[in-house]
Structure formats: structure tokens, C-alpha cells
Chain A
Amino acid sequence: MSQVTEAMTLGRVGRQVRPWWALPKRWRNPIGIVGAIIVLLTVVTAVFAPVIAPYDPDAQDHDRLLPPSWSNLMGTDELGRDTFSRIVFGARVSLQVGVIAVVIALVVGAALGVAAGFFGGRLDAWLMRVVDILFAFPGLVLAIVIAGLLGASRTNAMIAIGVVYAPAFARVVRGSVLSVMSEPYVEAGRVVGASNARLIAQHVLPNIVAPLIVMTTVYLSSAILAEAGLSFLGLGTQPPEPSWGGMLNLARTYMEISPWMAIFPGLAIMIVVLGFNFLGDGLRDVLDPRLKMN
């Protein structure tokens, strides 16, 4: 009883006391935080690859097919290159392809989606029909065909993945734009005579950012997987450049003698993709207002 009165007099009833260093409650999703840490570590690895990697990733100056040891943490490959150094540099390839491909998808998709949602009418009908048709192709098949026909290279893999993902972004952006367009503030903007460009930039875009962030994170993980898959098939990053998918493909020839070669690149892909998936899961809890109520 006395404790209650004390609390009341101190005015602390119903207020959470939170130490200054703790994140707000809804940011405290352990899965999301682990994801953020993995993604951050990957970015650091990619940026500081020359500092982190103990050897030149292309130098063939070790014995071949060595098992892991203190001097070659992940062993060496069939040409005597240090696998750990190649994995570290491979982070650059993975992130670069993933980010650029998703940026292509995001820019193209958002432009189409905003155009369709904002202007509506016939433009909307036609754009959405094209999007539907692109959706009717199995995604990986389209990526394989585009990358294969443009010619196997890292740039073309990025373009292929970007093209394949763009319709998904277009659809989500269009949906969000349509729901924002019915809000009173857009109407108000129109009434006071704001131009279309101003309406889009000031009122529509800022309000569709949240779902796009979640979507971008999730698609980053699938773009990294797709790049690895294309490189595995020989349609993405070309040797001797170190890409995880390509390394894994090469490892198949030697894996009975040197299983390490097949284990580490796959592990690297898995951890990075997992990081983005975890981060996406956490971000969804934070940013998706539908789920916040739970």
C-alpha cells in the first residue's frame, strides 16, 4: 500500500523506466539485432577486404588443396590460392551484385509503380498488364535466360536479377501509392495547387518508404542467392574473380579430396543471406504497422 502511494507521489505510475542505453522496446527483437550485426560485419569485411585478407586472393603461392591450418584458415584451392582471402574478397562481389541488382529493381519498379498508381487510368492498366506477364515467368528461368543471352558476366547478372525483381517492386509500390492517394493530405496538397512532381516527392514517396525498406532487405537476400546461383552455373561472375557461387561450382570437382572447398563458400552465402533475412524479419516487426498491434 505504502509503496503504491510512494510511486504515485513520485509520478511514476504507468511509466516505464528505461535506462538511457536501451533501445525502445519494439527495436529489441533479438533476431533483427543479430541480422543487423551480421550485415554490418559483412559490409565491413567487403570494405576492408584488402586489410582483412591475409593474402592476395589471386596469388597462387601456396601448396594446392591444403586443409585448413593456422596459415591458411580455410585451406587452399586447386590452384594454390588462399580460400579465406578469396571468401573475404568474395563478400565484395556478393554485396555489389546484390545491392546494384536490387537498386535497379527498386528504381525501375518504383518509377513504374508510382506512375501507374499516381496517374491511374489507361497507363495503369497497360503497365500492370506488362507486370502481370513478367510475373507469369518463373523468376530464375527469366534470370538465366537474360543473363545467358546477354553474355555471362557480372554486370549482366546484375541486370538480369534487377529486371526479374522489378515487377515485384512495381506492384508493391503501386499498391502503397494507391492507398496513400486516398489520404486527406494528398487531397489537401492538390487543393492548394501543388504540382504533380511536388505531390509525388513531398507527399507520396515519404509515405511509402516503410514497406519498401522491408522489401528491399528481403530482396537483397534473394539477390545474393540468385547471384551465387548464376555464378555457380557459370552465368554470373567469371573466374578468376572470387565469387562464392563460382568457388562452390569449382569445388565440386575436387570435393572428395578436399571437402573444405565446398564447405566454406556455401557457409559464407548462408550466413550473409541469413543476416539479411534476420534483419528483414526484425525490420518488419518495427516498420509494419499491421503486425505492431500483436
Chain B
Amino acid sequence: MGLFILRRLLMLIPTLLGMSVLIFLMLRLLPGDIVDIIVGADPQADSAARQRLREAMGLDDPIPVQYVRWLGDLLRGDPGVSLRSGKPVGQILWQSLPITVELAVLAVLMATVVAIPLGVISAVKRDTGMDFGARVAGLIGLSLPNFWIATLLLLFTSTQFGWVPKTRYISLFDDPLGNLKQMWLPAAAIAVQLMAIEMRMTRTTMLEVLNQDYIRTARAKGLRDQVVVYRHALRNALIPVITVIGFQLGALMGSSAIIEVIFGLNGVGYTLLQAIFNRDYPLVQAAVLYLAIVFVLINLVVDVLYAVLDPRIKQA
């Protein structure tokens, strides 16, 4: 197992390097000049001052040189300074990460608790009215934009209970109850779609597993239906579902940006959006790379977990 993990970790290196090249090129080759953005509001900046700034920032060097310098800084743990606030980029991201992570974990938990039982019921009672209802509900859940759900939830809570989202993040460790009060609504808005995806996946894999020979054997030796379904079928059916859940966790690093905006939560997605609007290039670069690294690492954990749960994978 140790070797397997090590091999996967080593395989990450080219991927991460490729990602960093891509991010860097994207920001350099797209239209817009960083210098214009920095001095944009300053009418006194003449071309000589611009040139001095360009040289100071090393923008006249060839792009490969700039890339190597940026990567070197990154590896030394210095992703640069925000053009907007002047704060170190690393610090800004470090502060916003817990919010995004908590939101993702909470949403996935909410979704899973509902989705897996529903998926199992739908598969076991296949082609009944209940199955049909669950399938249609799944497709509807898949089609609901989470930012609409979020808007409606806010509308409902503010008109019915006068509840308004707090703009300052309450840490889970300082005040667990206050934190959950703040976070459950945005998490619920995200959870609806995840729930639909997980439920459909559970249903599909359950149907596949229920057709297997070992299920027939289990039934034939007289085990009760419940034991067959939960102990034999569900355990095997859950393996692909876990992959999906892991993938959702990863994708939520950043795709929760819209929800963070709606609820005024200062997470990584929100930070990234603001950085884009402000053309704060160092922050954009670092935030994208940061989200991508977390995404890739979560995928790695999922792969490893998969191998632990399904010994057949390891040999491949």
C-alpha cells in the first residue's frame, strides 16, 4: 500500500508542473498589461515610470525566465503579494481556505445522508412508483441551479424569520453553534445538486450489484432481504459512490464561489472572483493553483481509499 501511495504521489509531480505552466501562460498571454492595471489610476505615471516598474517586476524578461522565477518563489513558499491590498497572497488564501473546506464538507455530508438511502430504496424497489418518483426527483435536483436555491432560501429566511447572513465568518472552533447557524443554509443550497448526483449513482451501482451471482448466492442460502441488501450489496455498490463523493468535495473547491458570493462568505472562490475583477494577477495565479492542488490531492486520497476498499484495483 505504501508503494502504491508513493507511486501516485510521484505521478502528481508532472501534473502539478503542467498545471502551473498552464496557469502561468494563461495569465501572461491573455490581453491586458499588468503595469497598466497597477498604475491605471495614476495619471502621473509616464512611460519612463512604467518602464521602471516593468523592469522592477521583471516583466521584460523572456516568459520562460519569468516562469522559472515564479515557480522558484512558489517552492520557497512565497507566492507573492496582492496588487490590491499589499498583503502576502499566501496569508489571504490561508484565511479563506477553512470557510471553503467547511462549506464543502458540510454540503457533501448533508447530501450523502439523504442520497444513499434514497438510492438504495429506488434500486431495491425498481420500476415501482417510488423508483420513478425518486428518479424524477433526482433529475429535477440535477437541474436546479444552486444559486437559485440559495437566493430562494435567503428570500424565505429573511422574509419569514428576519434572518440575514452575517458578513463576518464565525469560526467553528470559536463558536460551533454560531458557525453552524451561519453555514447550514449555504451548505444546503449546494447539497441539493450533490444529492441528486449521488442518489442516481447509488441507484445505478446498486442495480448492477443486485444482479451479481454472489447476491443470488446470499439469497439462496436464505439470508434475510435486509442483510443481503445492506451487508452484501450496498457495501460493494458504495465503492463507485465514494469516488463520486470525493470528486464532489474536490470540485467544491472553487465551484462554491457563487454560493460564497450570495452569502457573503469570504472563501477561496469568493477571493478568486474578487481578484479577477480587480485584475490582481498574483492572487489569481496563486488562488487557482491552490484550488487545483487541493483538488488533485483530494482525488489522490479518493484513489487510495478506492484501492483500500476494493483490493482488485491495486493490482492494476
- A133–B19 contact, CB under 8 A? yes
B-contact bits for A230-263, CB 8 A (1 contact / 0 none) = 0011110000000001001001100110010011
Whose C-beta in chain B lies nearest to the C-beta of A230?
B258
User: Which of A137, A138, A262, A271 has the most C-beta atoms of chain B within 10 angstroms of its own C-beta?
Assistant: A138
Q: How far is the CA of A266 from the CA of B26 in the complex (A)?
A: 33
- A138–B31 contact, CB under 8 A? no
Q: How far is the CA of A149 from the CA of B24 in the complex (A)?
A: 13
Q: Which of A178-186, A190-198, A274-282 contacts the other chain? A: A274-282
Name the contact of B145 in the complex, choosing from A145, A263, A266, A277 (C-beta under 8 A): A266
List of 7 A-B pairs having minimum Cβ-Cβ separation, nearest first:
A266-B148, A148-B276, A141-B254, A274-B143, A140-B255, A273-B143, A133-B18
Q: Which of B57-65, B74-82, B226-234, B291-299 contacts the other chain? A: B291-299
| A256/B143 contact (C-beta < 8 A), A139-B255, A229-B258, A263-B152 known | no
Q: Which of B90-98, B134-142, B301-309 contacts the other chain? A: B134-142
- A133–B22 contact, CB under 8 A? yes
Is A87 interfacial (CB 8 A cutoff)? no
Give chain B residues whose Cβ lies under 8 Å from the Cβ of A273: 142-143, 145
Q: How far is the CA of A139 from the CA of B247 in the complex (A)?
A: 12
Name the contact of A139 in the complex, choosing from B32, B136, B251, B284 (C-beta under 8 A): B251
- B295–A138 contact, CB under 8 A? yes
Is A270 interfacial (CB 8 A cutoff)? yes
- A150–B31 contact, CB under 8 A? yes
Give chain A residues whose Cβ lies under 8 Å from the Cβ of B296: 136
- B148–A248 contact, CB under 8 A? yes
Give chain A residues whose Cβ lies under 8 Å from the Cβ of B147: 228-229, 232, 245, 248
| A146/B143 contact (C-beta < 8 A), A137-B292, A141-B255 known | no
Is A225 interfacial (CB 8 A cutoff)? yes
Give chain B residues whose Cβ lies under 8 Å from the Cβ of A144: 254, 257, 272-273, 276
Interface size class of B (residues with CB under 8 A): 35 or more
Cβ of A131 to closest chain B Cβ, rounded Å: 11
Give chain A residues whose Cβ lies under 8 Å from the Cβ of B151: 248, 251-252, 255, 262, 266
Give chain A residues whose Cβ lies under 8 Å from the Cβ of B136: 31
Is B124 interfacial (CB 8 A cutoff)? no
Q: How far is the CA of A140 from the CA of B268 in the complex (A)?
A: 13
Is A95 interfacial (CB 8 A cutoff)? no
- A281–B152 contact, CB under 8 A? no
- A145–B288 contact, CB under 8 A? yes
- A137–B19 contact, CB under 8 A? yes
Q: How far is the CA of A232 from the CA of B257 in the complex (A)?
A: 11
Give chain A residues whose Cβ lies under 8 Å from the Cβ of B19: 133, 136-137
Is B212 interfacial (CB 8 A cutoff)? no
- A277–B139 contact, CB under 8 A? yes
Cβ of A91 to closest chain B Cβ, rounded Å: 15
- A277–B273 contact, CB under 8 A? no
Whose C-beta in chain B lies nearest to the C-beta of A133?
B18
- A262–B295 contact, CB under 8 A? no
Can you list 14 A-B contacts with CB-CB less than 8 angstroms, sorted by A residue number?
A129-B18, A136-B19, A137-B288, A137-B292, A141-B255, A142-B288, A144-B276, A148-B277, A149-B276, A233-B257, A248-B147, A251-B151, A266-B145, A273-B142
Q: How far is the CA of A225 from the CA of B250 in the complex (A)?
A: 19
Give chain B residues whose Cβ lies under 8 Å from the Cβ of A278: 139
Q: How far is the CA of A225 from the CA of B142 in the complex (A)?
A: 10
Is B262 interfacial (CB 8 A cutoff)? yes
Is A187 interfacial (CB 8 A cutoff)? no
Cβ of A232 to closest chain B Cβ, rounded Å: 5
- A132–B15 contact, CB under 8 A? yes
- B26–A138 contact, CB under 8 A? no
Is B30 interfacial (CB 8 A cutoff)? yes
Is A216 interfacial (CB 8 A cutoff)? no
- A141–B143 contact, CB under 8 A? no
Give chain B residues whose Cβ lies under 8 Å from the Cβ of A146: 26
- A262–B152 contact, CB under 8 A? yes
- B145–A140 contact, CB under 8 A? no
- B26–A145 contact, CB under 8 A? yes
Give chain A residues whose Cβ lies under 8 Å from the Cβ of B291: 137-138, 141
Is B180 interfacial (CB 8 A cutoff)? no
| A229/B15 contact (C-beta < 8 A), A138-B254, A138-B292, A150-B31 known | no
- A252–B145 contact, CB under 8 A? no
- B276–A269 contact, CB under 8 A? no
Give chain B residues whose Cβ lies under 8 Å from the Cβ of A271: 143
Give chain A residues whose Cβ lies under 8 Å from the Cβ of B284: 145, 149
- B30–A149 contact, CB under 8 A? yes
Cβ of A112 to closest chain B Cβ, rounded Å: 16
Is A151 interfacial (CB 8 A cutoff)? yes
In chain A between 142 and 199, which residues have their CB closer than 8 angstroms to a CB of chain B?
142, 144-146, 148-151
Is A85 interfacial (CB 8 A cutoff)? no
Q: How far is the CA of A151 from the CA of B37 in the complex (A)?
A: 14
Give chain A residues whose Cβ lies under 8 Å from the Cβ of B159: 256, 259
Give chain B residues whose Cβ lies under 8 Å from the Cβ of A256: 155, 158-159
Give chain A residues whose Cβ lies under 8 Å from the Cβ of B135: 31
- A229–B145 contact, CB under 8 A? yes
Q: How far is the CA of A266 from the CA of B150 in the complex (A)?
A: 11
Give chain B residues whose Cβ lies under 8 Å from the Cβ of A134: 22
Q: How far is the CA of A168 from the CA of B269 in the complex (A)?
A: 23
